[in-house]
């Protein structure tokens, strides 16, 4: 078993990729965060990781220049989360080092959601005009995103052999976790019309078209292409605020909550590992509580 930090880090990164199912991008980020800590601390063994060293590293990060003068707490936490995961890995291997529970994350403010109104969402859905293959594809993309709440990476990974005779299908999300998502009649119809127009034999559900397709080695649509497509349609229908696939995912979640779904169910549909991630949408349930208070509280005193 490796005992030096360099080899232990390699084993940890392989563990993330193979056993934990993390994406290559996530593994690369963890590598960068942990390596920066090692360089700062000038240590070569697990036992040399001390609480004082971590505190000094946090001060170092906090004093790094950022857009607001210092590095944002959210960005600092990326480093701390990676280091804590590495320490948990060491503990699992019975290697003596700092207790990962000794590392506390920096407090960050409540996350602001990029949201669009129901009216703006409807305008966006009506954006792709006509019966061209590209218009049908774009309509199918947006209807599918709103029907399922898929992440853009999950959407791009879908194959065209989707069983449209059913109202649901399984998707493999973050951490290789499988969840079930559901198709609305509108989404099924949009996908069916798009696939019927397709004349190629590519296995991907959503493919590139036009100039991009001619120079591409792989026709499968990329997340970046989907983001550009949605942005273009948002501009065309006069939506001035930022609109991305993730904004449609937010609309999916808030629509469910506004119509009475509970937070745990929304967590499962979004594929969140932790309920605290889903709690970012409590502004919707808070609004519902305000309405209840307004309608039912203090009636005798009016």
Contact 116, 103 (CB under 8 A): no
CB-CB contact of 8 with 2 (8 Å): yes
Tell me, what DSSP letter sits at residue 204? B
Given the residues 174, 198, 220, 283, the one annotated as active site: 174
Structure tokens at 189: 């119809």
Q: Among residues 22, 233, 250, 272, which one is catalytic? A: 272
Let me know if 246 is a catalytic residue: yes
Helix, strand, coil % over all residues of the chain, rounded to 5 = 60, 5, 35
Q: Say if residues 171 and 181 touch (Cβ distance below 8 Å).
A: yes
Tokens matching residue 242? 């930022």
What six digits make up the tokens of 23? 């994406």
- Choosing from 73, 220, 246, 283, the catalytic residue is 246
Catalytic residue among 137, 233, 249, 250: 249
Q: State the Cα–Cα distance between residues 206 and 222, nearest whole angstrom.
A: 9
Angle at 32 between CA 26 and CA 33, to 5 degrees: 90
**Would you call 283 a catalytic residue per the annotation?**
no
Which entry of 30, 79, 194, 281 is annotated as an active-site residue?
A: 281
- Cα dihedral 222, 14, 106, 250 sign: positive
Rounded to an integer, what is the distance from CA 122 to the centroid of its chain? Answer: 23
Whole-angstrom CA distances from 139 to 26, 47, 131, 144, 203 are 31, 56, 10, 8, 19
- Structural tokens at position 83: 């280091």
Catalytic residue among 151, 188, 233, 250: 151
Say whether 189 is catalytic.
Answer: no
Tell me, yes or no, if 281 is annotated catalytic: yes
Query: CA-to-CA distance for 64 and 100, rounded, in angstroms?
Result: 24
C-beta separation of 281 from 289 below 8 A = no
Can you tell me whether residue 222 is helix, strand or coil? coil
Angle at 72 between CA 31 and CA 253, to 5 degrees: 85
Residue numbers annotated as active site: 151, 174, 246, 249, 272, 281
């Amino acid at each position: 078993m490796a005992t030096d930090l360099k080899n232990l880090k390699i084993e940890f990164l392989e563990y993330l990729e193979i056993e934990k199912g993390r994406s290559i991008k996530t593994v690369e980020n963890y590598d960068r965060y942990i390596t920066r800590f090692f360089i700062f601390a000038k240590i070569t063994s697990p036992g040399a990781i001390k609480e004082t060293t971590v505190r000094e590293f946090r001060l170092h990060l906090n004093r790094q220049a950022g857009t607001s003068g210092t590095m944002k707490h959210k960005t600092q936490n990326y480093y701390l989360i990676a280091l804590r995961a590495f320490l948990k890995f060491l503990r699992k291997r019975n290697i003596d080092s700092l207790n990962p529970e000794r590392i506390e994350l920096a407090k960050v403010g409540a996350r602001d959601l990029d949201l669009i109104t129901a009216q703006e969402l409807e305008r966006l859905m009506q954006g792709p005009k006509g019966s061209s293959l590209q218009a049908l594809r774009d309509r199918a993309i947006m209807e599918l995103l709103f029907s399922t709440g898929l992440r853009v990476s999950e959407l791009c990974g879908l194959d065209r052999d989707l069983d449209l005779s059913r109202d649901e299908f399984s998707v493999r999300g973050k951490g290789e976790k499988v969840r079930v998502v559901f198709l609305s009649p509108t989404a099924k119809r949009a996908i069916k019309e798009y696939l019927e127009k397709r004349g190629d034999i590519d296995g991907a559900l959503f493919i590139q078209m036009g100039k991009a397709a001619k120079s591409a080695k792989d026709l499968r649509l990329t997340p970046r292409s989907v983001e550009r497509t949605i942005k273009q349609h948002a501009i065309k229908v006069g939506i001035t605020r930022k609109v991305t696939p993730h904004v449609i995912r937010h609309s999916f979640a808030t629509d469910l909550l506004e119509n009475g779904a509970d937070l745990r169910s929304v967590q499962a549909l979004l594929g969140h590992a932790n309920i605290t991630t889903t709690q970012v949408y409590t502004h919707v349930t808070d609004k519902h509580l305000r309405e209840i208070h307004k309608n039912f509280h203090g009636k005798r005193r009016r």
